[in-house]
Amino acid sequence: MTLLIGTDEAGYGPNLGPLVVAASAWRLPTADDAADRFARLSAEIGTAAALGQPPWADSKQLYKPGGGLGALERGVLAALASTGQASTTQPTSRAIPSDGAALSARLGIEIPVASAPPEWPRLMAMSIPVAVSSESLVALDAAIATILPRHGVQLVAVACRLLPPAAFNALLDSGLNKSDILSKTTLELAADLRRMAPGEPAIVWCDRHGGRKSYAALVGRHFAAPLVRTLVETAATSVYEIPAEGLRIEFTVGGEARVPVALSSMTAKYLRELAMTAFNAHWTALAPGLRATAGYPLDARRWREEAAAVLARCGLPPDSLWRRA
């Protein structure tokens, strides 16, 4: 068997709210035809009538600001339902997280109290699902369960790392730059999932991290590998091999076209959107009339100006709220 891990992020550009990195882990019989196997799976889930719209695709295709979370939520929660049912063949709503705290626990998110943002309690108390019914998710999970075995793949885990502004800024202060932080968080998460099957060959698929082309040193550091072979480094793809670990890592432009990366993209975006919903609800409750923000630089500056009075009243350190570039 081979373990395949897909990763992606959401929130790399904003000044407000968290950076979220997600990964999905899959098992398949062999590494030799992984790309073709998932291409066939993608084609089937794109056309299967039983699924309605495809459950997993690039989050930028499924979600537009103001368009609602339904498309993201159905794919993410159906995936969690699938990974939560290793002991039964019957789908059940009990496998679907019921609130933000349960969702965070299922995704393996742990936020130290010292770096937890002020809206964190509101996010933990948020009822899940927010946009689709549990019944529709159970039906979707049942349909997915009939399709995955036909392609010889099993979804075994979905996990996230969430960096609030305080944690992000602390990494900047340690000497890392923004791109380093993304790569560090991504590879640490991939290394954690790789430990699920230490004796199996493994592949890690990542979307390209900004303009970075060379990752060999980062790969060696985060997988504690004495030898990392560089197989390819081009404008579109960077590929590395750790022979002692039976591990291959690929960074690809447009990696969201692959199902494991697409699901990770959706998960990161879904969690980021929930976090920003909690962020806006928290601050609007303290300052009625304060306009919501998605946290991206231009509007984040507008929000900070409009929120100046309430921020001063709360006395929060700037680094606890504002992610530096």
- Report the CATH number that the domain containing residue 11 is assigned in CATH: 3.30.420.10
* Most trustworthy range by pLDDT among 51-65, 142-156, 240-254, 281-295: 281-295
Q: Please say if the pLDDT value at position 171 is more than 70.
A: yes
Q: Give the pLDDT mean for 301-321.
A: 93
For residue 314, tell me if it sits in a domain: no
Contacts of residue 173, Cβ cutoff 8 Å, sequence gap at least 6: none
Give the domain range for residue 15: 2-277
Query: HEC string of 215-283?
Result: CHHHHHHHCCCCCCEEEEECCCEEEEEEHHHCEEEEEECCHHHCHHHHHHHHHHHHHHHHHHHHHHHHH
Supply the pLDDT for residue 89: 46
Q: Please say if the pLDDT value at position 85 is more than 80.
A: no
Q: Give the pLDDT mean for 299-310.
A: 96
Supply the pLDDT for residue 94: 57
Q: Give the pLDDT mean for 165-192.
A: 94
For residue 282, tell me if it sits in a domain: no
Encode pLDDT of 246-275 as tens digits.
999 999 998 888 999 999 999 999 999 999
Supply the pLDDT for residue 24: 97
Confidence of residue 14 (pLDDT cuts 50, 70, 90): very high
For residue 63, tell me if it sits in a domain: yes
Confidence of residue 13 (pLDDT cuts 50, 70, 90): very high
Supply the pLDDT for residue 88: 42
Q: Please say if the pLDDT value at position 321 is more than 70.
A: yes
Between CA 322 and CA 309 the distance in angstroms is 16
Neighbours of 251 (CB within 10 A): 27
For residue 103, tell me if it sits in a domain: yes
> Is residue 8 within 8 Å of residue 261, measured between CB atoms?
yes
Query: How many separate domains does the chain show?
Result: 1
For residue 68, tell me if it sits in a domain: yes
Place of tokens 């979707």: 140
For residue 288, tell me if it sits in a domain: no
For residue 39, tell me if it sits in a domain: yes
Q: Give the helix ranges, DSSP H, for the chain.
A: 34-47, 59-62, 70-83, 100-106, 120-125, 134-147, 165-173, 178-194, 216-222, 259-286, 297-306, 308-314
For residue 225, tell me if it sits in a domain: yes
Q: What is the pTM of this model?
A: 0.94
Confidence of residue 92 (pLDDT cuts 50, 70, 90): low
